Amino acid sequence: MKCTELTTYLDDYLRIADIVDYGPQGLQVETAQTEIQRIALAVDVSPAVIETAVAWNADLLLVHHGILWRNVERIAGPLGERVRLLMRHGLNLYAAHLPLDAHPEVGNNAILARMFGVAVEEWWCTPTNVPIGVIGDMAERPSLTHLVQQINDQLETQCRVLAHGTEQVSRLAIVSGFGADQVAAAKALGADTFLTGETSHANYWAASDYGLNVIFAGHYATETVGVQALGQHLAQKFNLDIKFFDFPTQM
């Protein structure tokens, strides 16, 4: 499959042009490799990720966190080394940040909702121009302890929990990655429990004040699911080879 065909499809499927982000998304590094058969999947772009993808003979690296952000002024230093590695080995780089958080089918939050039995009623948490989080009632209303164990097992993580709400979880709000500053908004939408990624000391007392359980499952862990779901979608639609490369940050 031509790289231009694949990236055009991804741009449309993920609404890259419609979603305001913190830097340019989509094809970030285009190399001389124009035919795509093998797609490596990862959350981040590190030298180890690139080298492992190259060893697998990948043609394109598809990630959630790319390398181009608003504060990037020059391609030098560690960023320059990443670009050199990609170009040297003919590994194209495609990134989907907020578009992959917000996607209703393969997005991080939509996938997390399905994994943990949330009937999505509303999209919320709008960092730019589209909501990325989900909220809804739980199908089985598990105990907080049971839900945390389920998250630990399925995401291969170790959650940190602020147990300031009810022991039974009835309504769960979800924001993958960093959503700790959304405690008040989650409570206002009727959530008794809030699942997000990164911890935040500043919001400990907010959770206590609002009587809300907050589950911090890890920024990395909550954002492994979307890129894998997107990869499966591409494999089925275009008969491409995909492989997820897991490089946890413990964050």
In a domain, 116, yes or no: yes
Tens-place pLDDT, residues 56-97: 999 999 999 999 999 999 999 999 999 999 999 999 999 999
Percent of the residues in the chain that have a pLDDT greater than 90, as a whole number = 99
Whether this prediction's pTM lies above 0.85 is answered by yes
In a domain, 113, yes or no: yes
In a shared domain, residues 106 and 218: yes
Q: In what order do the strands lie in the sheet with 26-29?
A: 26-29, 92-95, 60-63, 38-42, 241-244
In a shared domain, residues 183 and 83: no
In a domain, 248, yes or no: no
Exposed / middle / buried, residue 51 (Cβ in 10 Å: 0-12, 13-18, 19+): middle
Structural domain boundaries enclosing 34: 3-96
Exposed / middle / buried, residue 180 (Cβ in 10 Å: 0-12, 13-18, 19+): buried
Tens-place pLDDT, residues 173-185: 999 999 999 999 9
In a shared domain, residues 50 and 132: no
In a shared domain, residues 58 and 158: no
Strand 26-29 versus strand 241-244 pairing type: unpaired
**Average pLDDT along the chain:** 98
CATH for 198: 3.40.1390.30
In a shared domain, residues 91 and 114: no
Domain end residue (candidates: 96, 117, 139): 96
